[in-house]
Amino acid sequence: MNTELQQRIIKQATRMFLCNGIKSVTMDMIASQLGISKRTLYENFKEKNELLLACLESQEMERRARLEVYFANRKNVIDLLLNVYEDILRFMRNTSPMFFVDMERYYPRVNDKYENDKECHKQATVDLLKEGVGEGVIRADINMEIVATLLTFQFELLKKSDQIFNSKYTFTEIFETIFKSFIRGIATPEGVKYTDEFFEENR
């Protein structure tokens, strides 16, 4: 197999799945956009599910690489969370709500992997918040497990935002509101000050 070609396929398919949803994107459409034959595409990925999993794994690897940079350069946990916030915001600007709807409805095997990853992310959030308590930027009088679980469910709400709000607000507007409410609710006065200064500079 041609590894370089596989990476090209994954990059193009990821862009198309995120922007248009999964169900509406066919293998024919992906092959056409890449200028390759359908046969060549199937020689590299046997089915759409396999390609979708490869796209998700690639996205996760890229996300982890960015997180490592954020961790290495962070001033404190709030600073790290704000960098993650901007990272997710960039992702949301290029993602249709239908991507999540389709994955849950039509691709249960892929969605199961996504659900498993979600549990890992929730535990990582708990560990991070505990670290922030030691830094004096996260409140010590809150239950970290409850906070991380509530944040997870708020993201579940975000995936169904078009249905809940009847497309009145954009994906990014809803996410920004969820995140700002979340971070101000868990931050100490020092953490809130840091957060407010960040949003003032990045208005």
Cα–Cα dist 136/145, whole Å? 19
The pLDDT score that the predictor gives to residue 93 is 86
Which domains are seen in the chain, by residue range?
1-60 (1.10.10.60), 74-201 (1.10.357.10)
Residue 45: pLDDT over 80: yes
User: For the segment 157-199, what is each residue's pLDDT rounded down to a tens digit?
Assistant: 777 776 777 778 887 888 888 888 889 999 999 999 999 999 8
SS3 187: strand
**What value does the mean pLDDT take over residues 32-44?**
96
Structure tokens at 8: 């090209």
The pLDDT score that the predictor gives to residue 129 is 93
The pLDDT score that the predictor gives to residue 48 is 93
Q: Which residues contact 19 (CB under 8 A, 6 or more apart)?
A: 94, 95, 96
User: For the segment 101-156, what is each residue's pLDDT rounded down to a tens digit?
Assistant: 888 888 877 777 666 777 777 888 899 999 999 999 999 999 999 998 888 777 77
The pTM is what? 0.82
What region does 107 belong to: left with phi over 0, alpha with psi -120 to 50, or beta?
Answer: beta
The overall average pLDDT reported for the chain is: 89
Amino acid at 84: V
Q: How far is CA 196 from CA 95, 119, 181, 203, in A?
A: 27, 30, 12, 10
